[in-house]
Structure 1
Amino acid sequence: MKRLWPYLLAVLVAMGGVSCSDEEVLPNQREKLVSYLESSHAPALVEESQADEEAQQAFYTVSGSTVYRYIENYYAPGRDQKKEVGASLKVTITFRAYVFTYSNITDSTFPYYSNDPLLREAYLELGLADGAWSFEPLTLDMRGDILKGLRFALLGCREGDEVEAYMTYNMAYGDKNFSTIPLESPVAWFFTVEAVE
């Protein structure tokens, strides 16, 4: 039987019963996300612990070990006086959600989902969102059923924050097929915190 084990394992892998690459997906996505944030992102970011606050150096934070967040207006005067998103509050956001390909998201990168009114016409021209979803700000109950990575990204944000959140597949849709999003895809959510209540 010991001699048959390698052959049985090879058959299981070929049939999809065992995936050797699954163990590599998460560390690979983490590594690529950090590389993107520190070298390709504009502006280039450093990890929060390395940020020079006096120089107002742009930085990212890490939550849940695989959600990377950049708050564009972190150093804005009066930001610390605004209401903070907590675990039992409601938050209203305007957002754009993208399948992330480790490259800069530009105006020509089309989100898979958004409630940004600036994109409404583009969605309608493509025959999308013709009444399928709202372009009004979205109010989320932080105690409710929301994307795990989005919850991590929202916690600690403040009203008026402009945020970019990059998350590995396990913080997004996991290893399940979800609409047009490829299996085990990292995603990026760009959002503005409109209100916290």
Structure 2
Amino acid sequence: MKRLWSYAFVALVAVCCLSCSDEEVLPNQRDKIVSFLTSSHAPALVAESDADQEAQQAFYTVSGNTVYRYIDNYYAPGRDQKRVVEASSKVTITFRAYVFTFSTITDSTFPYYSNDPLLRSAYLELGLAEDAWSFEPLTLDMRGDILKGLRYALLGCREGDEVEAYMTYNMAYGDANFSTIPRESPVAWFFTVEAVE
């Protein structure tokens, strides 16, 4: 009986520890993303509220409390005249999606999914099936079933925007394994808004 109580106690401690660690994952990922954006990202970014927009200082915005977005061409002349992505829009994008490890994503970092035609030859060199990915622009209906974090990242973008979106696991694939993506993985989507309808 004593052994049974010992096993029950160990199981209870394990469950409590898992619960504690799950509660720490989200704030930990948020802190790491902000740290990356403000120190390692090139250019270093500031929060939108701290940006000196007259000096065209690069900044990130936060949506849904866990989606961090940087628009590379935010200060481009004429950008404010282009069509904006709204909740009812159809949006065509070219993208690269990565499991985010809180470090700089380079040209040698291979995405877990992409439709970027510039990657097609590298993809085929790896011996991957030619028809596994479509290298055509992807059109999304904002009212449809799309990744929650991607929806947040797209809202407010404009046609022609070049965007980096970093999202915590709860805005991506959650706490379950999804294909080759480990559970509770933050992800990064780099995309260009090709068209907005």
Shared fold (TM-score, shorter chain, > 0.5): yes
Displacement, 1:31?
A: 0.3
Displacement, 1:187?
A: 0.3
8 A contact 1:12–1:18 mirrored in 2: no
Q: CA RMSD in A?
A: 2.0
For residue 183 of structure 1, what is the amino acid of its counterpart? R
For residue 141 of structure 2, what is the amino acid of its counterpart? D
Displacement, 1:107?
A: 0.6
Displacement, 1:17?
A: 9.6
- Post-superposition Cα deviations, 1:39-94, rounded to whole Å, max 9, x if no partner, equal 10000000000000110000000000000000000000000000000000100000
Q: Secondary structure at the match of 2:122?
A: helix
Note the 1:77-92 alignment, pairs <5 A: 77-92=77-92
Distance 1:103 1:124 in 2: 26
Displacement, 1:15?
A: 6.7
TM-score relative to the length of structure 2 = 0.93
The alpha-carbon distance between structure 1 residues 183 and 154, as it changes in their structure 2 partners (threshold 3 A), is same
Displacement, 1:5?
A: 9.4
Distance 1:5 1:76 in 2: 66
Distance 1:48 1:69 in 2: 10
Q: Secondary structure at the match of 2:19?
A: coil
Q: Secondary structure at the match of 1:32?
A: helix
Structure (1/2) with the larger helix percentage = 2
Distance 1:13 1:145 in 2: 38
Note the 1:57-68 alignment, pairs <5 A: 57-68=57-68
Distance 2:57 2:13 in 1: 47
Gaps of 5+ in 2: none
For residue 104 of structure 1, what is the amino acid of its counterpart? T
The answer for the alignment partner of 2:106 in structure 1 is 106
**After TM superposition, what 4+ stretches of structure 1 lie above 6 angstroms from structure 2?**
4-7
Q: Secondary structure at the match of 2:120?
A: helix
Displacement, 1:116?
A: 0.2
Distance 2:154 2:55 in 1: 25
For residue 97 of structure 2, what is the amino acid of its counterpart? A
**Residues paired across the two proteins, number:** 194
Displacement, 1:14?
A: 3.4
Q: Secondary structure at the match of 2:175?
A: coil
Displacement, 1:18?
A: 4.8
Displacement, 1:128?
A: 2.2
Distance 2:71 2:6 in 1: 49
TM-score relative to the length of structure 1 = 0.93
